[in-house]
Each structure stands twice: as C-alpha cells, then as structure tokens.
Structure 1
Amino acid sequence: MSKIKKYCQTIGKSAFSLCYNVISITLGNEIKNIPYDIFLGPNDSIKFIINIFALVPPKLICFICNTPISIYVPPQSLELYNTAYGWRRYKDIIYPLVKKIIK
C-alpha cells in the first residue's frame, strides 16, 4: 500500500502509473488535486483500491484507469463524490470508507 502524507494537497501527473507493486493508495484529508493518468494500472488483472480521506472531493482532471478499481471515501461525503464533476462517472465504484473491527 502506498500512503500519501495527510497534509499533501497535490500529486504529480502519472505518480502511480504502471507501478506494478502498488495495488492500494491512501490519500489524506488535505488532497485538493488529482491530475490525469495518476492511476493508470499496469494491467487489467489486478484490483486497484483507492482510499480518499478528503471530505470535499479533490479536483479530478481526468481519471484514466485500465484496471478494475474501487474507490473508498468518507461515508458523510459519499453523495458529494457521486455528484461532483469528474467523480460522478465513477459513482458505481465509489464506496464509503469503513473501519475494520478487530475482535
């Protein structure tokens, strides 16, 4: 898993493109911009997981991904992500973040 520092506001173009060992990315609550090609996967056989803790959907320029993905966002922001420009096209794969309960 790759974890971006919680105070990071912007990620560079193609930051995780073709990273063969990265299958999960966690973006902190301060993320403001996600550039294009950031999540372009190496192939279509790996499920890619993106956890975003930002309550306000970051600006999404273009979200090109050739691998299956699931996007997890704060539950109270689910509707914001599902209707935000750039994000609404992914509403079928955006889910609420939930904490795992360990027994």
Structure 2
Amino acid sequence: MEKDLVKRAHDAFNHGDYQDAITLYQQAAYQYGQSLFDVNIRICEQRLQKPGQLMKRVPKSSDAIPVAQQLAETQELLEYYYRRCQELEYRLNDAG
C-alpha cells in the first residue's frame, strides 16, 4: 500500500480531489522528503482556492524555474527514486 502512495496522490490530483491529494502528498513528503512534494502540495492548495485554475502570484527570487517545470522535474525524480528503492529492495530479498 505504501508503494502506491505517490500514485494515489497523483490519481487524486488528476480526479480533482485536491484535499485527498494534499494528505497523500504530505504522507509521501514525510517518507521521501519534504522538498520533493512542496510544489505538489502548493498546487493542490491553489486549486482548492480557485478550482480549475492555478492562482497567479508574484514570483519570488526562489522561483527561478516555473512551477510547472519544477513539478515535472519533481515527479521525474520521485519516480526515479521509487524505482531505485524497489531495485534495492529486490536485491536485499535476493541476497537474504
């Protein structure tokens, strides 16, 4: 069940269930690292405030990369680390 946490969060987001997505992303952030999910959580919060669209906001100096690009990169990294963890888990099981 834990292995599907990020997928469940992503599915909830895609179905417009942003509150559930936030909860799942927060759980994933606790397990895998907060910085990997900050953008996902922020986008969900924005969607809850204005359904159907992202809120416009004044960019900060820390927003060097657009949010959409950062989200894509975060998702890509997350998927990489998830696959890597599974590979290592399989190796441990094979060795034991």
Same fold judged by TM-score > 0.5?
A: no
- State the TM-score, normalizing by the size of structure 2: 0.25
Higher helix share: 2
- What TM-score, normalized to structure 1? 0.25
More strand by share: 1
Q: Which has the larger radius of gyration?
A: 2
